[in-house]
Chains A and B, each alone.
Chain A
Amino acid sequence: MAAAPAIEQPIHEKLARVWATPRGVRGTLSSVDHKTIGIRYLITAIAFLVIGGIEALVIRSQLAVSGEHLVSAGTYNMMFSMHGVTMIFLYAAPVLSGFSNYLWPLMLGARDMAYPRLNALSYWTYLVSGVFLYTSVPLGAMPNAGWFDYVPFAARAFNPGLNIDFYALTLLLLAVSTTVGSINFITTLFKTRAPGMSVNRLPIIVWGTLTASIANVFALPALSAAAVMLFLDRRYGTRFYDASAGGHPLLWQHLFWMFGHPWVYVVVLPAMGIVSDALPTFCRRPLVGYTLVALATVATAMIGFGVWLHHMFATGIPPLALAFFGGASIVITIPSAVAVFAWLATLWDGRPWFPAPMKFMLGFIALFVIGGVSGVMTAAVPFDWQLTDTYFVVAHLHYVLVGINVFPVIAGVYYWFPKFTGRMMNERLGTWNFWMMFIGANLVFFPMHIVGLMGMPRRIYTYPGGLGWDVYNAIETVGAFVFAIGVLLFVANVMWSRGRGNLAGSNPWDAPTLEWSTPSPPPAYNFATIPLIGSRHPLWEDRLQEGSAKSVLHRGPVLVDAGRETFATSPLDAEPSAIMRMPDDTYLPLILAVCLGVVAYGLLFSLLWLAAAGAIGVAISAIAWLWPSDATARLGVADTEFGELPLGASGRHSVGWWGVIGVIATEGAFFAYLLFSYFYLASMSVNPWPDRAPGFWLPLVNTLILVASSVAMFWAERGARADRTTRLRWGVGLAVALGLLFLVLQGVEYSREALSPTKTAYGSLFYTITGFHGAHVFVGLIMLVVVLVRALRGHFAAGRHEAVSNAAAYWHFVDAVWLAVFTSLYITPHLR
């Protein structure tokens, strides 16, 4: 570690002035500080944990004894559905986003996330989605088909209220929040690390959140596609899931679990990262097998994409297809076991001590092993057939989610609370907190294995006596209340310690990672000088001697000349490549999130004018967001100790490019899932598919037009790089004209097409896929028009054409998607 700080007070004051968030309502609503957003995420998610917990207590009270009628069957359905949706979507993943939002820049040596405004948008949209979902409570229309919401029960014919519409729209709002958050994490990791923090020096929680974020980018679109199709089926009469019209209920299950199983790893991998980073601190030695654990984290998620079918073992799929997924589901235990053995070896080889966070981590390991073992059992197809839809599965999933998410989260709060607040949490209360939660969790969830094996199905709201289930259910209910008392003790400890806990200092646990080098709580600018990293344990370098390089923590570059600045660095080795100007606080994320909520309410209540107003608000906010400020438009270079660095960047050096690539990846996945749906239904259809092929020649002409527009945009972007402004303007103008012509001709095609979107699943898919593509063309055109206006105003130059490159990348993507759509929808029907 470097020598004592030597930075002058005026620099601290200037940084504080530049990075400070205004006080009062203005600051509350406009802050883009990652620490503020992180704490908001944590508080909101834990509030949802409490709400979901209350729903669980209602469920357990209903099941405490046989023949109970505390609530009706309908209310029970809504209770367990809301419990699942709340815990899975509104608590488990967002709480981890809270940790990562707060900690990432501090761990990575940056002053904020790569996209601070997107960070705020992610939180506000999450909050809006939670409020939206709970609007269903006063209306008595809570989701009632479970958290995985299987059709046909979720179809309108069997579930005509607003319940499922709340579910579908909530998930779409959450998808926006989670996707922008994930893209932000990915870009932050690859572009804003402190110089010297190469990828082999990352804390494991960073690996966990990075892996989860990449999984989100590719998995969430499956859920979005499924939710869109469900909403269209329910409200506009499409037939995606209607077997009588060429649709299929299993399509929902495939799409849901293509999302759902990676999501399991989304809600556990960052939590495992919390343990991998915090446990070594309490063992007073580095994590055993860092490389193996980092890799195991990534490998788990990779295999996690290929095991979705194990949720569908009982749906009649042929044995060999099941065997592929059963095998992969067993092998996935290998990387998970690597992490467990690494923790155990760290404990074995270290000098452990056991304050409250350590107790929770040890409890986590125990619960993880139990939940993991029951998971391997259900990976065996014949055994799974016996257990499907029994309480055994409920026991397994709760051991996994409570054990691998809730316990590490509580451990993480105890561990980083001193950093959040500057105060320690009460240790005695923490010990009571742990034992109540640990005993409670095992009391409530372990007997579920037994009643499951005895044949008790899940999701029954009551049961007859005399089946031998009573005593186990009674124990489970007692356990649930014991667990709830534990959660209450935790909340009480947080409230008490926040004002009265012992003062913590910057590094009360003597921890090794970078966040502990900052004051507690950290200043708005995080680091007065940007740290230069020489090893994975910057604060333990003197005792570990594990690298030849020394980190420089308090004598690095300051970056204080022109507003909020930080370094952009290279993806692998974190070599400085540019100086980034960070945005100031703004209301735009809040406005945009509220507008998204307005769209959702408009769609829910079939008030199309309201939805349209919200959409216009979204569009205006987005354009205002993207419009460059004078500060971000400035050109030039700065002389730094890393040599001359550009102010801002274009192409792959810019953070904007990474964001666009993230958008392209996730939207590409969305279209891939739509096309999967097309071919899946085609393969399952007993009728000719399609009963009549769509026209060919007009779409072919349209294809050529779109390809030509892509060529024009390519030509224009090359012109921008060469500082040829006239060529840029003409090229973008031509691309816009061709894009508009494409949309006009698509309208002509629609007017001639005899297909109906509501008669067959084929028609539903045809209009949905081409319609979504048309919407993407429209969005791309708006981007091109903004670029054109800016080009006419002379905003671009040879080294300053980020917006042109980004818009071009998006436009090429839209055109490439059309080629896939054209091949699938217009060519393959002629090949049959």
Chain B
Amino acid sequence: MATHVTAQPAHPAPARVRVGLSALWFGLYGGPLAWTVQTLVNLPVAAHGCFPRLEPLSSPTIGGLRAVVVGVSIVALAVCVAATAVAFRSWARTREEHQSSAGSARAHAPANALAETGEGRTRFMALAGLLTSATFLVVSLVHLASIFLVSPCAIGR
């Protein structure tokens, strides 16, 4: 193979050994998956409970409908909180990651460059997970709040 001799850049993720990939992926996708399940379970329960076939009802057919959707939401919230915690731990372990620690080339990556430039792949994924989990924690909380704010079957009841 023809090549030109090259000085290879340093590895883009020098802190990758500090955090396992499964922790990074859980931080990224734990929240979205929990909310997805929360929505996909609670939607048919809430819809079918109040509008089982042809006629809308004034009260749900499913006994303890609210308990079911609240229970599912609490589980989803717990997963979102866990994902946030895992993502935070990953971020805390890698927040200083930038290429100055790669041992190759000059060190002039600003330590605060994470949000701005994303430099440091491991901490980039960790921060992305932290923000994703936090976002879906909010989405899941809004979902839960609506259970207490809205009457399941009819307006104003």
Query: Are A195 and B36 closer than 8 Å at their CB atoms?
Result: no
CA distance A579 to B2 in the complex (A): 13
Does A620 sit within 8 A of B, measured CB to CB?
no
Does A6 sit within 8 A of B, measured CB to CB?
yes
CA distance A641 to B9 in the complex (A): 12
For chain B residues 97-126, which have a beta carbon within 8 Å of chain A? 98-100, 102, 104-110, 113-121, 124-125
For chain B residues 52-101, which have a beta carbon within 8 Å of chain A? 52-54, 56, 69, 98-100
Contact with A along B116-147 (1 / 0, CB 8 A): 11111100110110011001101100110111
In the assembled complex, which residues on chain B have CB atoms less than 8 Å from the CB atom of A615? none
Does A685 sit within 8 A of B, measured CB to CB?
yes
Q: B115 → chain A, closest Cβ, in Å?
A: 5
CA distance A558 to B54 in the complex (A): 68
Does A358 sit within 8 A of B, measured CB to CB?
no
CA distance A552 to B9 in the complex (A): 8
Which of B1, B43, B99, B138 interacts with A547 by CB under 8 Å? B99
Query: Are A557 and B149 closer than 8 Å at their CB atoms?
Result: no
Query: Are A549 and B118 closer than 8 Å at their CB atoms?
Result: no
CA distance A547 to B42 in the complex (A): 47
Query: Are B151 and A316 closer than 8 Å at their CB atoms?
Result: no
Query: Are B100 and A561 closer than 8 Å at their CB atoms?
Result: no
Query: Are A318 and B51 closer than 8 Å at their CB atoms?
Result: yes
In the assembled complex, which residues on chain A have CB atoms less than 8 Å from the CB atom of B146? 320, 323-324, 326-327
Query: Are A551 and B9 closer than 8 Å at their CB atoms?
Result: yes
Q: A527 → chain B, closest Cβ, in Å?
A: 12
In the assembled complex, which residues on chain B have CB atoms less than 8 Å from the CB atom of A330? 142
Query: Are A532 and B53 closer than 8 Å at their CB atoms?
Result: no
Does A686 sit within 8 A of B, measured CB to CB?
yes
Does B19 sit within 8 A of A, measured CB to CB?
no
Q: B73 → chain A, closest Cβ, in Å?
A: 10
Q: How large is the interface on A (under 10, 10 to 19, 20 to 34, 35 or more residues)?
A: 35 or more
CA distance A572 to B120 in the complex (A): 12
CA distance A318 to B147 in the complex (A): 12
Q: A778 → chain B, closest Cβ, in Å?
A: 31
CA distance A331 to B43 in the complex (A): 18
Query: Are B54 and A549 closer than 8 Å at their CB atoms?
Result: no
CA distance A552 to B6 in the complex (A): 8
Check A557/B4 contact, CB under 8 A, given A318-B47, A547-B98, A573-B12.
Answer: yes
Query: Are A548 and B99 closer than 8 Å at their CB atoms?
Result: yes
By beta carbon, the residue of chain A nearest B51 is A318
Does B8 sit within 8 A of A, measured CB to CB?
yes
Check A289/B116 contact, CB under 8 A, given A306-B39, A328-B143.
Answer: yes
Does A719 sit within 8 A of B, measured CB to CB?
no
In the assembled complex, which residues on chain B have CB atoms less than 8 Å from the CB atom of A309? 43
Chain A residues near B (Cβ < 8 Å): 6-7, 11, 195-201, 286, 288-292, 294-295, 298-299, 302-303, 305-306, 309, 316-321, 323-324, 326-328, 330-331, 334-335, 529, 532-537, 545-552, 555-561, 572-574, 579, 638-642, 683-686
Query: What are 11 A-to-B residue pairs whose CB atoms are below 8 Å?
Result: A198-B12, A295-B128, A306-B39, A327-B143, A327-B146, A532-B9, A549-B104, A550-B105, A561-B1, A573-B11, A641-B8
**Known contacts A306-B36, A548-B107, A572-B121; 9 further A-B pairs (Cβ under 8 A):** A196-B8, A198-B13, A291-B118, A327-B145, A328-B39, A555-B6, A561-B2, A573-B11, A686-B53
Nearest 4 A/B pairs, CB to CB: A198-B12, A318-B50, A200-B124, A534-B9
